[in-house]
Structure 1
Amino acid sequence: MTINEHIEEFHGLPVHDFLAAAEGAAPPDPAAVAWRIGLEYDSPVTFAEAWQRFLDTVDTARVTAVVIGNWAPEEPEPLTGALAAIVAAAGRLPALRALFLGDITFEECEISWLQMCDITPLFTAYPQLEELVVRGAGEDYEGSTRLALSPLRHERLRALRFESGGLPGAVVRAVGACDFPALERLELWLGVASYGGDWTTADLAPFLGGDALPALRHLGLQNAEQQDEIAALVARAPVVPRLTGLALSMGALTDEGAEALLDGQPLTHLSTLDLHHHYLTEQTRQRLRDALPGVALDLSGAEKPDDKWRYVAVAE
């Protein structure tokens, strides 16, 4: 799987590309769209200039959702400067409830090449934020900058997703140490060690225990080579009975992991179980269908179960 298209909807709103809008076209209602600010390759303007133009020409007091695209007009560069501009503009965006960092396709920059930074200041600057998506994590080579987060408390955040080909263990542990009393959806694209994913299954304990996130209703632990091991942990995790949605997709899930789910605690209460991109045999897939007749079960993206090389959906 590659990320080859920009998102078209975010936070329940259609995405409007601020820089690509036709000259002279009537602008949309500021509150009716998610505003995308992203540079084309070899852009004549910098991100700082584009961001300032957005602040100066749109009634940003009414903007509820923002999507940040490519912040580097040519070669990859750290998110640091763009993030500082977004944080500095918090007073101009009092209604902001949703932010997507990194709506960038593989043709613009591979997900593992995206150079990130410490995103902790966002949470302080935007205490009313309800949804945050972060794409990319960076690697420790050739001076690239990695994603970082410090443990914190945020009262309003309801949905958090990290999209990565290799999520740093320090970030996974920081999320586990955060106090998010309102968080209902958590999705982690964990990724692989060769692209910076130095997390361990022990780092997932706070999400599986059930106490750290009291409002959690949807949990995604995805895109992992160790998907079977994760499935075995989920099969007996205290958090599962109060979930309505579970995603163990995008990874190297085999019959072994599915057997653990089938032999573990009941999953019939779930509304959705997402297992897409997997290495399950047809026999096991049918067992899952038979065992979970009332669950919206996603078994798409079947790979060859006997394939010697098992890969996650998103890595490089």
Structure 2
Amino acid sequence: MRDTFAGLPVHAVTNPAGPADGLPAADSVAWGLECGYGAETDFPELWRGFLDTVDTERVTALVIGSWWDGDYTSLGPVVELIVADAARLPGLRALFLADVEGESCEISWLLMADITPVLEAFPLLEELGVRGGNTGDDALVLAPVRHSALRVLRFESGGLPGSVVRAVAASDLPALEHLEFWLGVDEYGGDSTVADLAPVLAGGRFPALRHLGLQNSELQDEIAAAVAAAPVVAQLTSLDLSMGVLSDEGAAALLGGQPLTHLTRLDLSHHYLSDAVMERVSTELGAAGVTVDLSEQESAEEDDDEEWRYVAVSE
């Protein structure tokens, strides 16, 4: 589980019946609830203990970690509990679902569910993060929504379903400032296409958008080429195309497209650029004051005269 969320330190809760004495002020931390393999309790009991010992009316941030106590189970019942008790969390402004690290469960093994009810139950929610994707009955699901308060929406996945990308692109989110997709690979359910991103790239869909992350993709060169001509770029202050298989081809498209000199930051880390192209990107954009992250230069692996490139996060 992460150490901070929504600008607050995360306070982990693993004991369903811990004493209220000694707990931090309810609005001073992001409350992190997790069970996990070998836990002495199940998530429903942990959730009830949290509601009974913490002044939940003052809770502003909540992080849901591992929620199973044996074999992996669906996130669905967790979503149902949170939604059912939404009235007890009137101050909730930030929520992260499935903040689970690899030693507990690989990102693409997490059993996901429909998270649409969360946005419907918390109309004042300002930040939502979700980790995981999966396929079939265990895939992450989202329907298009209207939500007037949401400012930050982040999906961390080794394979984000294209249906989720399309649902976001079809949503009405007038306050959205930060949108982040870890698109992943087809093998783990990441079947989105550049066409799925078109409504976002066209601009105007999210008028407040200032940061766009299209990351961790095996289509990173195609995405870079689309971004190079995308109207949305003009409204951004930062752009993140990191974690994928960006090559010289994609970088050349970026440099040959619309100006990026208005950006304060461009993240291209974990890439497959040559030294010469790295130097060109750094020189041309750095001279305009853009902070460019070109860390984690990767080398393609060769196998039977084929080159293989890998995203940063898949399984």
TM-score bucket of the superposed structures, by smaller chain:
over 0.9
**Is 2:239–2:263's contact at 8 Å kept on the other side of the alignment?**
yes
Shift of 1:103: 1.1
TM-score, structure 2 normalization: 0.95
CA shift in 2, pair 1:22/1:56, >3 Å: closer
In 2, Cα distance between the equivalents of 1:20 and 1:108? 18
Contact 2:16 2:47 in 1 (8 A): no
The residue aligned with 1:3 is none
Alignment partner for residue 7 of structure 1, among 2, 7, 26? Answer: 2
**For structure 2, which runs of at least 5 residues remain unmatched after alignment?**
none
Measure the CA separation in 1 of the matches of 2:98 and 2:296.
25
Q: What fraction of aligned residue pairs are identical, expressed as a percent? A: 58
Q: Does 1:262 align with 2:247?
A: no
Among candidates 85, 90, 108, match of residue 86 of structure 2 = 90
Q: Please tell me whether the aligned partners of residues 34 and 64 of structure 1 are also in contact (alpha carbons under 8 angstroms).
A: yes
Alpha-carbon shift at residue 42 of structure 1 (Å): 1.5
Instruction: Say which SS state the counterpart of residue 190 (structure 1) adopts.
Output: strand
The answer as to 2:124 corresponding to 1:134 is no
SS at match of 2:138: coil
Deviation at 1:20, TM superposition (A): 6.4
**What are the ranges of 5 or more consecutive residues in structure 1 without an aligned counterpart?**
1-5
The amino acid that maps onto 2:292 is L
Q: How many angstroms apart in 1 are the aligned matches of 2:216 and 2:283?
A: 25
Distance in 2, matches of 1:209 and 1:61, equals: 40
CA distance, structure 1, for counterparts of residue 74 and residue 151 of structure 2: 27
Displaced runs of 4+ in structure 1, greater than 4 A?
20-25
Q: Is this contact kept in 2: 1:254–1:305, CA < 8 A?
A: no
Paired residue secondary structure (2:129):
strand
CA distance in structure 2 between the aligned counterparts of 1:306 and 1:119, rounded to whole angstroms: 38
State the 1:200 CA deviation: 1.1
2:31 maps to which of 28, 35, 38: 35
Q: 1:162 aligns with which of 152, 155, 163?
A: 155
Q: 1:152 aligns with which of 140, 145, 148?
A: 145
Work out whether residues 281 and 305 of structure 1, in 8 Å CA contact, stay in contact via their aligned partners in 2.
Answer: no
Please state if 1:81 is matched with 2:82: no
What is the CA–CA distance in structure 2 between the aligned matches of 1:120 and 1:93, rounded to whole Å?
17
- Residue 23 of structure 1: how far off its partner (Å): 6.5
Say if 1:83 and 1:119, in contact at 8 Å, map to a contact too.
Answer: yes
Q: Summarize the alignment of residues 1-316 of structure 1 with structure 2, pairs less than 5 Å apart.
A: 6-19=1-14, 26-140=22-136, 144-293=137-286, 294-304=289-299, 308-316=307-315
Helix, strand or coil for the counterpart of 2:199?
helix
